[in-house]
Structure 1
Amino acid sequence: MMATKGTKAIYPGTFDPPTNGHLDLIARASRIVDELVVAVLRNTQKGTPLFTVPERVEMLREATAEFANVSVTMFDGLLVDFAREQGAKAVLRGIRAISDYEYEFQMAMMNRKLDPELETLFMMPAEKYTYVSSRLIKGVFELGGDVTSLVPPNVVERLKQRVPGNGK
């Protein structure tokens, strides 16, 4: 799908925590669409989050402040309903590996079934972030590993506050 004037897209996710891979996609998508809404999912089935939804929204707002056409909010319920409420024509999804594609393809097809007008845009992160996931960041940091090159500085500070004993 080629972006046209007035194209608004939603980039949904849990972002627990936001990574440089997320920011790479946000930066690149902000050059393609007129407006990008980064939407933090409120109710998730991915287990207990490290950060609250308001904390994730705040970290993303801080990290995306330089992008005039990017906003950050939260949502729950069906993505297609949220996209309709927002007047969005597309959903942005990141693909790091074939395993991501299989899951994302299913989601895109279900979204298409629920709203045939909503398109899904798949983007790959920069090569240096293809292995980075929020789950991996949390695990490495909790075990004392250095993740400073993989997350924004404001996220590093939040991780240090949340996970005692890791001063890296």
Structure 2
Amino acid sequence: MKRGIYAGSFDPATRGHFDVIRRASLIVDELHIMIGVNPKKSGGLFTIGERLNLIEESLQEMEWFGCPRSAFHIGQFTGLLVDYCRAHDIRFNVRGLRAVQDFNYEFEMHGTNCEMAPEVNTVFFIAPPEFQFVSSSTIKELATYRSPAVQKYVTRCVARALLEATRTS
């Protein structure tokens, strides 16, 4: 069985994230969608629990996945990604690239990960043009100003949660 991981903060999860998940699901049998928790960092717009719920609900909205729900494992982890991969026999680390800046960061991480866990292969997906300039920060700003454009970049459940969260902040 080919297992992969797609890890991030997903604060919030965007359609760009789900595009990576969809494409990764075409090359692995089981995909772990994991929120990396850094105990030294705090904050975020959504709690870890809210992010996990939004990912779960968004997967239900996304009819174009064509995979059984059992092919996706949603959760969180603390520590090194390579340690999580070893503990779960994961061989593919899936990463999305929007621009050159993403590539530079991911390339540096790839070098370190290769030294620590050569058995884990990094797979890069280049974002389609409609998602190349969209970040979670941009999405949060659009939601703060109540821009209808937010609907284009997130699922319905994430859009509702964003509007609610930014209404009270």
TM-score with structure 2 setting the length: 0.89
Deviation by residue 1:16-67 (Cα, 9 ceiling, x = unmatched) = 0000000111111111111111001122777630001111111111112354
Single out whichever of 136-145 and 104-113 deviates more from structure 2. 136-145
Q: Find the aligned partners of 2:36 and 2:77 in 1 and give their Cα distance.
A: 5
| Residue 105 (structure 1) aligns with | 107
Pick the aligned partner of 1:155 from 153, 158, 169.
158
Q: Find the aligned partners of 1:96 and 1:130 in 2 and give their Cα distance.
A: 4
Q: Find the aligned partners of 1:136 and 1:112 in 2 and give their Cα distance.
A: 31
| Residue 82 (structure 1) aligns with | 84
Q: Find the aligned partners of 1:92 and 1:135 in 2 and give their Cα distance.
A: 21
TM-score with structure 1 setting the length: 0.89
Return the offset for 1:88: 0.3
- Answer yes or no: is the 8 Å Cα contact 1:64–1:70 preserved in 2: no
What secondary structure does 2:45 align onto?
coil
| Residue 117 (structure 1) aligns with | 119
Q: Find the aligned partners of 2:25 and 2:39 in 1 and give their Cα distance.
A: 26
| Residue 19 (structure 1) aligns with | 14
Single out whichever of 100-109 and 136-145 deviates more from structure 2. 136-145
Percent identity between the two aligned chains:
36
- Answer yes or no: is the 8 Å Cα contact 2:146–2:163 preserved in 1: no
Return the offset for 1:100: 0.4
Pick the aligned partner of 2:45 from 35, 45, 50.
50
Structure with more of its chain in helix, by fraction? 2
What secondary structure does 2:110 align onto?
helix
Deviation by residue 1:72-127 (Cα, 9 ceiling, x = unmatched) = 11111000001111110010000010110000001111111111111100001222
Q: Find the aligned partners of 2:131 and 2:41 in 1 and give their Cα distance.
A: 21
| Residue 147 (structure 2) aligns with | 145
Q: How many residues align?
A: 161
Q: Find the aligned partners of 1:114 and 1:165 in 2 and give their Cα distance.
A: 43
Q: Find the aligned partners of 1:116 and 1:157 in 2 and give their Cα distance.
A: 41
> What RMSD, in angstroms, separates the aligned Cα atoms of the two structures?
1.8
Unmatched segments (≥5 aa) in structure 2 = none
Unmatched segments (≥5 aa) in structure 1 = 1-5
1:55–1:21 Cα change, 3 Å: same
1:61–1:128 Cα change, 3 Å: same
What secondary structure does 1:149 align onto?
helix
